[in-house]
Each structure stands twice: as structure tokens, then as C-alpha cells.
Chain A
């Protein structure tokens, strides 16, 4: 026989103002099986919790119902109190009579009746609860980091320094990501390469880091603590161990294509290294660009092979499948620039001298296509007037993205400053909506650009960019003076919005929630910013939202800390509210297996003593089950059930609220 204790909270006046709490506690005492019922002004306070603990011990309660606020708020508090008093925490539940009753109704009569019915529903549910124990799952001490930009590099280094092995997967031939493309970084004007390459080298040399470049995650199975990851290493056609990075092959190669690393502002050969400081410092043969064609065979040209001293080139290279077990995954997939029609209105793609911020970075970079000299792509002349346009696509819900890309104000100021340093006689104009310089030393940097570098800031939008007599006419408006104006520019640089680079394919494999702009959904925007809703998967850097390098590095370290904290445990305790199968009644239609999003349902053979197969039934892998209950609904004869939301509980709950 159940012995249930009911505890009604006044929440000061919050509940008591609308719900007659004394009456509620008295009526609750009449429900069969309720042996204790009381009310108190603040149940969640220490004296309130003590009332729960005392009642459990004195009245030998087998279930506890706390009628108070939302379970999202205090269920853990009261479950903990029950556990301290020796009651299984899963025998305690909350009736939400604040958020879903007293706060949303004014009629005391109806609110009290509703609170009573709700309380009765929870009593009926608790009566049918079973004591549950968390399910222990072993944890694999290895972390997968997806993406080798600054976020992935930082996360991998932090975890590896913590003594945990890391597998770092990068899609491109070299790690470094977008940061490797940058010339100098705001607000300190450090050379990006100079601060990044030492970290890249550390990654390669770290004994705890397994670096897989030119590789992609093929498949992710399993669950927190126990992911099985399949990684495809694309054929490089160059032996990574033999290649010395001497570069003798590239001059021999007759085929040249635009260099993606330089944002197509320069050329590279079919056999190439993206940039001189690439890690690993080995060449890659791009079969799409090779004269031999995508399949390479039959071989028409093997000049690179002949030029290669150590004979590192292997035309027979094949994709390699690498399997790793990992306990946690960090997604650091970074960003891309928005490709919207809005960008085209501003002449991007139409005029070679309209470029995006990353292209201008390459133009400014000492290792870039011009060796750091600012010249127009069209005629290689030094531009005398440069117009920078901020918020291209950002903060523009109609034609672009609604959010602020956060870094453009700063890098545009930096662009203008670097341009002025290189072309002191040049003129720079910046069209802006607002200046957002909310970082350490950022406002000072903006002030310096405005005042010392004498750069013209124009508050207003640009409607159109068009070519006229070899100039780019920038039509805009100065909203401070209210005047329309037109600037004849030699070069236009667009601060294009950032969007997440999470490919839909990868998102699906990871079962990751992303918004429509490709940014990963964090578990809580404030309190759990690096965790995702999928346990064991963390976000780092711009994969979560636009951010600058300091924030990216900070978040990468945060994700590394979270991953380390996870894999530092030997075993993990999972919620025991999982599905189970009644093997006697299961008829093995496996409808449950078809609907399970986690692959938690397995087949189990039932045999007699002689070993004859009697039937095949479903069985639940409790380490994988997340307790959604889709299988229970799919099961036609209800051989499935879900702990904590069992069929009996729901039936009893329904009876309690409908009658």
C-alpha cells in the first residue's frame, strides 16, 4: 500500500494569492494512499525541505508529491532531499501549481479546483512510480575535435595537455582555418600567422593529438561517453611520411587552378600546399585539377612524380576509413561568408574590384598573392579611394540575416587602418549602421582609427555599387546629415555576414540542432553555452555563433574543459527513465526499432533449453535509450513501456484530471 506525502507550497504569496493552499492540503489528505499532507510558506527553503525529510522518516513515505513551482525549477532539489532521507529520488515528483496555475489564473475557485486535480494527477502518477537507479555507462577517454581552425586547435591542445588523447579532424589539407588567412588581428595588430603557426606546429607535435587532415567524419554512432566515429581520410596521392615539403613537384606541374586559400585571388598548381606554413607541411594532389583527370588513370602526365626526390607521390592512393571510439565530441566547424543576392546588388561577383573582407585580408597579408601590396585585382593599380561597407547581409532580416556578425566593425576599422598604412595618400570611407566595439581595447582602437588615421566614417547604408569609367560608384546615404551621396571608389570591400559552416550532412550525423543560419544550438544560451542538447557533444567557436578570436579561443578552452570533465570520469550515470520490453508478449514486429531515433532497440533471440529458436524479440540498450517513448506508441500490443511515463501512470493521470 502506498504511503504518499503531499507538500503544498505557498511560495510566499505567489501561489497562496490565487490557490487556497490550506484547502488544497486538506483535500489532498483525503486522496486514498495519502498519509501525510501539509502546507508551508516556502517548501524549497531549508526548513521546508526538512519537513519533507522528516515526514519521509517518521511516516515511512513511499512517495512524495510537492505542489509548488515548475519541476524544471526545483524537481532536483526535492529529489535530492528525498534521497537524503532514504527515499529513492524517482519516487518524488512535483505538481506545477505556480507557473501553470496560480500565475496564469485569477479565479480562486477555479484555480484551486485545477490545482487539486493537478495534484491528484501527480499523486496517481507517483503511486505508480518505481524506484529507479541511474544507469552506469563506461566512458572512452578520447575526444574527437571536428574542425582545425583556431577553435579546434585550441580545444585539441587544451585537452591533450590535460592528458587525454584527441583526434583532430580537418577537411582541408592543412589546419589553420580562416584565421590562417588573416593579415593582422585587431586590436593589437599581431600578425595572425605569427600567433597561429606556433599553435599549429604544437598540434602536430603533441604526443596526445592524432591529426587527421584532408579527412571528414563519415558516421557517428553511439552516445555520450561511447561514440563510435568513422572518419574518411581522403586520398592525398602524396605519402605524408615521405613528403619533405621541398616543393619541387609544384613548379613541374603544368596545371594551374584558382587558389581557394587566397580566395581565388592567385593560382595554385594541381599539386600544391595551401600556404607555406601549412601543417602538416606536405603537398596534396588535387585530382580535379590534375591533367590526368579525376580518376588519374590512365596516366598522361607524371611530371610531379619525376620531380619528386623521395618518390612520395602515389597515384594509387585510396580513401582510408579510420574508426575511433571517443567519449566526447567538440564541433568547431567555423563559418563561411553569406552568399546572398544582397551581396550581388553591391557588385560582388560582377566587378573584380568589389571584394569581401577575407579577400581583402589576403590582399593585405604579407604571404598573400601580392606579398602584402594593396592593388586592385582588375588592373593591379594601387587604389586611391577605398570604400568599406559594413553590415553586408548582417542585421538585415529581409535580404540577409537578422543577427549582427559581431566582428565586422572591428575588422573593417583594421582594414582601413592597414590600407592607410600601406597607401598613406589614399582615402578610406566606411559606411556603417552602428559601431559595435564591445571588447577589451576595441573602443580605443576604433577611436584611434577615426581620429589618428583620419578615416571617414559615414553613418548610412549603401544601396548600389556600379561601374562607371573605370571607377566603382558607391551610392549611399549619410543619415546623420540626411544627404544622399556618391563616392567614386577604386576598390570596394564588403563586410559580409558570417553564417555557420555546419554542413547539413554532418549535422545529421551528429544529430545536432542548428538554426537556419547553420549555427549550432547551445543547451542554454546563458548557462550552458558550449554544451549541445545531445549529451557529450560540445560547440566551440563560430560554429555556435559569430565571435572574434579572443572569444573563440575562450569558448574553445571552455569546451575543452567540459569535454575533459566528462571523460575524466570513469563511468557516467544516465537517466534511468528508459524504455523496456515485455519479452513474453513481444511479437517481434520491430516497429519500435524503425521509429527509434537512437538505434537503441536491438534484436534478441529467445530459445528453449534445447537451443531451438522460439522467437525473436526486441530489447532496449539502456545505455543508448534517451527515453523519448516513440517505441511505446509504435508498439501495437504495448509490450513496450517507459519508466517514469508508463502506460499505467498515464491512464491513472487521465482519470485524475478528467473525472
Chain B
């Protein structure tokens, strides 16, 4: 693969924007042909790449185009209802809505990424779209190349313009709340193991420095090793898809309200069978990370999640739920100018050491091998260089869109403190707003990006 043009090459006098157009074969490609047949003139700065359908256009191709030095990307296909393949453009509309929201949140200038419906007869529209996009790029100047160059210190979330969210909601939680649950949990586990209803129980045990650690017990006599307290933060459902846990089925797994939602995702995606596990739902008052209540707990009003075979403790909803501090931070970031946002996130991603701890701890990152391990083609540059770091974090965010239940484990384990929780949360809010879908609720509902409605909003499409 040839080298990327250097910045100096790109900023010299003769700079011309480069717009990569991903078009579908049936509508826009034919529309562009029609523009030729009618000898309409438009900017030569566009490079057209033909796809069978907009449904074939992966957001990752767009990331790749930017990574390699494109100044702008245009995706164009058939109008809704005209798709040669029935629904490709409608699936694409959902996917690109989310991708666009992600790129906006990260601070990519909106004009760099455009979408349009251009039919085979709309030669005029094609010319207009291409010319207007090229003009917009000319005004913006060259894209920051390589993808994600750092420019100066980033804005800080700590210098918040609004006071942090009060953490009172959970101040009334007492150690007793956990102890009652813990003793009941031990009894239940003992019973389940003794009667052979489960082969093993996966729960929390004592770790070092008062921390909790995941343990597996296979014998009823070991039930007293199980603990439940404010340190039991891990989402244990991540182990359900692990091959080494296969022989322990049916496995009793201790889940908090949030963890239980990831079981819904695993069932939805055929990764576990309902008979392979028993969800031991512990009534959770909240858990702490680094001595502070976890962000996710502050707005949580549930003690028990959607999948619960055995309920330990009260299942009454909590009355203490407050606002979500993550939402507040997202709003803060969204108030920044795109350049500031971009700078903030590039600084975040620049710290990534590609340890893939986020992937390892995520219950929904179960692919073996992961896309990041694939090398034909090499989807993601592997070295911890900013370019690959951006791709990796973008890919993961996109793969979790509409699936992430917000357990924030990725953020907790990130050794360099990248705020993945905010990205995931932002996309969850977008999915909820656009498609009225909340992940981790009902396993029988299809995931939002694998389906469509004919009247999904497409306000971002030209």
C-alpha cells in the first residue's frame, strides 16, 4: 500500500480537495452515467467507487478512506423504495444515521461526510451534490491527515462548566443491604449445586485489597466463598461465551440488574442458549469504582434486570435514581466546537496502547477472531499508532451501537482511561431517539441495525 500524502504536499498551493463517492450500481452510478450522457459538467475532484448497493457500503470503508487521506466522503444510492435489493438502502440509512452521529460527536466537520439519494434519472442532482460537496471541502481545507493528528492540548472534562452531578442518591445505601443479599445468595447457590440444577456457580469472591474477583464454585460446600458487596462491579456474563466454561453448563451466573441486560443481547445473538445458564439475579443497591459510586448506578432505578431465574433480595425498583452523569458529560462535549471535540477525542485515542482489555471484558465482544485480528485485508492497523487507534475505537463503537447496555466495563478496565463509556452512551441515546430501541430489554425484538422502518428519519441525507 502506497504511502499517505504528507501534510506539506496537501497544503501546498495546488491543493485540490479529494472527494470519494461510494455509489450504488443501480441508481447513483446510473445517474452519474446519465450526467455524462447529457454532457453536464462537474468537479473532477470526485472519485467514484461502485458498489452493488448502499447496503454493501460499510462505515469502515469511510473510515478507511479518511485514514488514507480523503478530504471528504459522499455515499449515494437509491431513494427509499427504489432499492434494487428491496431494503439495502433502508438498512444503510439506519447504519449511516448512527455513523454520522458518531462522527459528529467525535468532531469530524459535518460537511466532510455526506449522504444523498440520487436516482438513475437525477443527473442534475448528482452534479449539484458533487459540486456542492467539493465546494464545501474547498472551504474547509485539507482534512487532518493522517487521520487524527494532534493539534495542541485538548479541552478537559474536568474543567467542567457546570457543577458535577450530586452523588447523594446512593448515600443511604448501608452495608446491611449487601449482607442480607450475600447470605441469601450463599444459601441459594448451595441449594442449586446440591440439587444439581447447575453444574457450577459463577459469582464474586474475595479478591485482594477488599476488591471482588470472579470465582467459579462447583461444590455446594464452597458456597460460603461467594460474596456480594459494593465492590462486585464486574459483569460476569462475559464468561458465558468463553469455550472454557462450556463444560460447566448449565452454569449459574450471578448478575446485577445491568449485567442481566447483556444476557438479553447474548440470547438475541444466539451466543447462549436459554437452557445453558441460570441467571441468579442479586438485588443490587449499586457498586463502586475506585471508591466512588459507578456512573451507571446513579441513574439506575432497577434492582433486578430483565433476565432473572432466581431472585436474591428485594425486586422493588429503587426510588433513588438520579440523573446520569455520563449524559451531562456528553452534553458538555457537544457544546464544544467540532475542532475541540476532535482534539479531545484524538488525545484520548492517542493514549490507547491496544491492549484490547475493553474487548476482553465486554460480554458482547465475543467474536473469535475479532476484526482487529484479521489481516486479509488488514482492517485495522495493528500498531498502537494514532491512525490504527482511531480505527479500532471507531470500529468497536460502531459494533456496539444498538447493542451496548452501558455496563461501562470497558471504561473501568481501560488502563489509560479512554472515555469509551461516553461514546457508547452517546450512540445508545441516538439509537433510542431515532429508532425507539433500548438494548437489553427483549430478546425477541430484532436489533435496531439489522432491521428498518420505511419511514425512518433520513434528515441527514441530501
Contact = CB atoms under 8 A, between A and B. Distances in A.
Nearest to A111: B44
A188 interface: no
Contacts of B370: 637
A589 B371 contact: no
B57 A100 contact: no
Contacts of A658: 18, 20, 47, 65, 68-70
Contacts of B450: 591, 594-595, 634
B455 interface: no
B270 interface: yes
Contacts of B42: 104-105
Contact of B30 (A72, A118, A594, A632): A72
Nearest to A99: B36
A318 B226 CA distance: 61
Interface residues on B, range: 35 or more
Contact of B41 (A104, A591, A645, A650): A104
A597 interface: yes
Interface in A524-553: 533
A461 interface: no
Given A99-B32, A103-B39, A642 B367 contact: no
Interface string B36-48: 1101111011011
A633 B98 CA distance: 14
Contacts of A480: none
Interface stretch (B206-214, B274-282, B348-356, B373-381): B373-381
B270 A616 contact: yes
A412 to B, nearest CB: 33
A638 interface: yes
Contacts of A284: none
A647 interface: yes
B4 A659 contact: yes
Contacts of B376: 648
A191 interface: no
Interface stretch (A82-90, A234-242, A623-631): A623-631
B385 interface: no
Contacts of A594: 446-447, 450-451
B309 to A, nearest CB: 23
B1 interface: yes
A124 to B, nearest CB: 10
A311 to B, nearest CB: 49
B91 A653 contact: no
B328 interface: no
Interface in A605-659: 616, 626-630, 632-634, 636-638, 642, 644-645, 647-648, 650-655, 657-659
Contact of B47 (A107, A111, A121, A588): A121
Contacts of A654: 20, 49, 61, 64-65, 68
Contact of B91 (A99, A113, A630): A630
Contacts of A113: 44
A242 to B, nearest CB: 44
A105 B2 contact: no
A106 B44 CA distance: 9
B33 A96 contact: yes
A114 B91 CA distance: 31
Interface in A574-600: 577, 585, 587-591, 594-595, 597-598
A96 B48 CA distance: 10
A221 interface: no
B3 interface: yes
Interface residues of A, number: 60
A105 B71 CA distance: 20
B394 interface: no
Contact of B44 (A96, A110, A616, A645): A110
Interface stretch (B81-89, B228-236, B291-299): B81-89
Interface string B438-462: 0000000011011100000000000
B52 A628 contact: yes
Contacts of B2: 655, 659
Nearest to B46: A114
A425 B16 CA distance: 80
B47 A657 contact: yes
A122 B326 CA distance: 46
Interface in B418-454: 446-447, 449-451
A98 interface: yes
A585 B369 contact: yes
B36 A657 contact: no
Contact of A105 (B41, B70, B451): B41
B56 A642 contact: yes
A629 B55 contact: yes
Contacts of B367: 585, 587, 636-637
Interface string A507-535: 00001010000000000000000000100
A115 to B, nearest CB: 9
A628 B53 contact: yes
Contact of A633 (B56, B269, B366): B56
A70 interface: yes
A602 to B, nearest CB: 14
Contacts of A353: none
A52 to B, nearest CB: 21
A117 interface: yes
Contacts of A589: 269-271
B368 interface: yes
A70 B48 CA distance: 12
B377 A642 contact: no
A637 B371 contact: yes
B239 interface: no
Nearest to B366: A587
Contacts of B35: 99, 104
B36 A103 contact: yes
B41 A628 contact: no
Contact of B88 (A628, A637, A648): A628
Contacts of A659: 1-5, 68-69
A642 B85 CA distance: 15
A628 B33 contact: no
Contacts of B51: 629, 645, 650
A72 B269 CA distance: 39
Contacts of B30: 72
A335 B42 CA distance: 43
Interface string A191-206: 0000000000000000
A412 B288 CA distance: 83
B374 A632 contact: no
A86 B435 CA distance: 52
A533 B265 CA distance: 37
Contact of B56 (A100, A106, A645): A645
B44 A105 contact: yes
B269 A632 contact: no
Nearest to B30: A72
Contacts of A511: 86
Contacts of A106: 41
B138 interface: no
Contact of A655 (B1, B5, B37): B1
B58 interface: yes
A632 B88 CA distance: 12
B88 A630 contact: yes
B95 interface: yes
A511 B40 CA distance: 35
A393 B52 CA distance: 39
Nearest to B123: A104
Given A121-B47, A587-B367, A628-B85, 11 more contacts: A103-B37, A513-B81, A585-B368, A585-B374, A629-B88, A630-B91, A633-B56, A634-B91, A637-B368, A637-B370, A652-B377
The 5 A-B pairs at the shortest CB distance, nearest first, are namely A629-B56, A99-B36, A628-B85, A594-B450, A637-B367
23 contacts: A72-B33, A99-B37, A114-B47, A121-B49, A577-B52, A585-B369, A587-B367, A587-B368, A626-B85, A628-B53, A628-B88, A629-B51, A630-B87, A632-B58, A638-B379, A642-B52, A645-B56, A650-B49, A650-B51, A657-B49, A658-B20, A658-B47, A659-B68
